[in-house]
Amino acid sequence: MIDPVQEQTRNRVVTARVAEIRGRFLDVLESRLVELEAARSDLEEDDGIDHGYRRQLIEAIRFGAHKTTGIAATVGFPELGRLSQVAELAADGHDPARATVPELNRLLHAVDDMLGEMALILIDNDRC
C-alpha cells in the first residue's frame, strides 16, 4: 500500500534534484552545442577531408546526440530528446565511404534540427 504523503514527499525531493541537474545540463549544453557545430561544419566541407576524419566527426556527433538523448526529456526538454535521437540514429551506421550525397544531407538536416533546438533552449534560458 503506497502512503500518499510519503509519495508526495518523495516526488518533491526528486523534482528538486532534477531541477538542480537541469541547471548543470544547460551548462553542458552550451559547450556541446559549440563542439557539435564545429563537427557538423567540418563534415560539410568537400575538400581535403579523408574518410577516417569524417568517421571521427560522425562518431563525435553520434556520441553527443546519444548523451543528449539520454537525459534531455528527463530534465524537461522532450523535443530535444526526440531530435537528438533522430540525429543519433542518422549517424549510427553512416559510412562516409559509401554514403550518397542525399544520405549525407539527411544526416546534416537531422543534426541541424538538433542544434537548432539546443540553441532555442539556451536562448529561452538566458544562456546565449
Partner 1 sequence: MRILAVDDDEMILELLSASLGANGFSDLTTASSAREAATILTNSPEPFDCFLLDIQMPEIDGIELARAIRRSPSYQQSPIIMITAMSQKSYIDRAFAAGATDYVTKPFDPVELGTRIRLAARLVDQNNAIRDNASMVDGLRAQLERERFLDLNEAIGIKEVDGVIELQSLENYLLQLTRSGLFATSIFAFKIEGVENIYAASSPTDFRYLLTDVAEAISTALRSVERFVSYAGNGVFVCVAHGRTLLDLDTVVATANLIVDEMGLTNSRGMPIKCTLRVGSPVRVGLVRAGRGAVDALYVAIDNAEHDPTPAEPNAWGSSSSQFRMA
State the number of binding residues for partner 1 (CB under 8 A): 23
Minimum Å gap between C-beta 101 and partner 1 is 27
Q: Which of 28, 34, 38, 123 binds partner 1 (CB under 8 A)?
A: 28
Q: Which of 78, 116, 124, 128 binds partner 1 (CB under 8 A)?
A: 78
The three grid cell numbers given for residue 12, joined into one nine-digit string:
518533491
Q: Determine, following the binding rule CB under 8 A, whether residue 88 of this chain makes contact with partner 1.
A: yes
Dist. CA 22–CA 29, nearest whole Å: 10
Residue 83 buriedness (CB in 10 A; 0-12 / 13-18 / 19+): buried
Dist. CA 20–CA 25, nearest whole Å: 9
- Give residues in contact with partner 1 (CB under 8 A): 10-11, 13-14, 17-18, 21, 24-25, 28, 66-67, 69-75, 78, 81, 85, 88
